[in-house]
Amino acid sequence: MAAGAFKYEDDLLKHYVRVKGWLRLCRDRKTRLQSRKPKYRRRLRYFTFCAVNAVDVLMLEVARVVTRSDTGRFDTVYYFDRTPELVAETEHRIPGSVGFAGNFLETVLAPIMLGDPLAPPGAEPDRADVRRRQTLQATRRAFEASFPFDVLNLDLEDMTFKAKDPIPGDVIRALRRLCEWQRQPLRGKWGLETLGGFTLLFTTRVGPAELADDYMAMLLNSLNRNIAADDSLAVSLHRRNGLDVTQLLRQDFGTFFELGVPKIIADVLMEEDWHIEPDPGVMTFRFTRGGSSPYEIVHFAMNVIRQSPPRDARAPGTTPDTVRTSYTLCMRQLFDTAAVRVTDALAKSAKLEPSLAEIKDRRRQYYSDEMT
Instruction: Please give the radius of gyration of the chain, using alpha carbons only, rounded to the nearest integer.
Output: 21
Q: What is the pLDDT of residue 368?
A: 75
Q: What is the pLDDT of residue 188?
A: 81
Domain boundaries, the chain: 12-114+124-366
Contacts of 97 (CB under 8 A, 6+ apart): 54, 57, 73, 74, 75, 77, 78, 79, 90, 91
Dist CA 326 CA 332 (whole Å): 10
Dist CA 213 CA 161 (whole Å): 11
Residue 259's CB is within 10 A of a number of other CB atoms, namely: 27
CA angle (67 as vertex; 66, 70 as ends), nearest 5: 160
111 prior amide bond cis, ω within 30: no
- Please say whether the beta carbons of 304 and 278 come within 8 A: no
Helical axes 55-62 vs 356-366, angle rounded to 10°: 100
The DSSP letter of residue 313 is G
- Nearest Cα residue to 239 out of 329, 328, 336: 336
Q: What is the pLDDT of residue 372?
A: 46
Q: What is the pLDDT of residue 130?
A: 76
- Split the chain (372 residues) into runs of 10 and give each run's mean pLDDT: 65 96 98 94 96 96 97 97 96 97 96 61 69 89 97 92 90 98 91 95 89 91 94 92 91 93 97 97 95 91 97 94 96 94 96 96 85 48
Q: What is the pLDDT of residue 3?
A: 56
Contacts of 130 (CB under 8 A, 6+ apart): 124
Q: What is the pLDDT of residue 2?
A: 57
Q: What is the pLDDT of residue 115?
A: 58
168 prior amide bond cis, ω within 30: yes
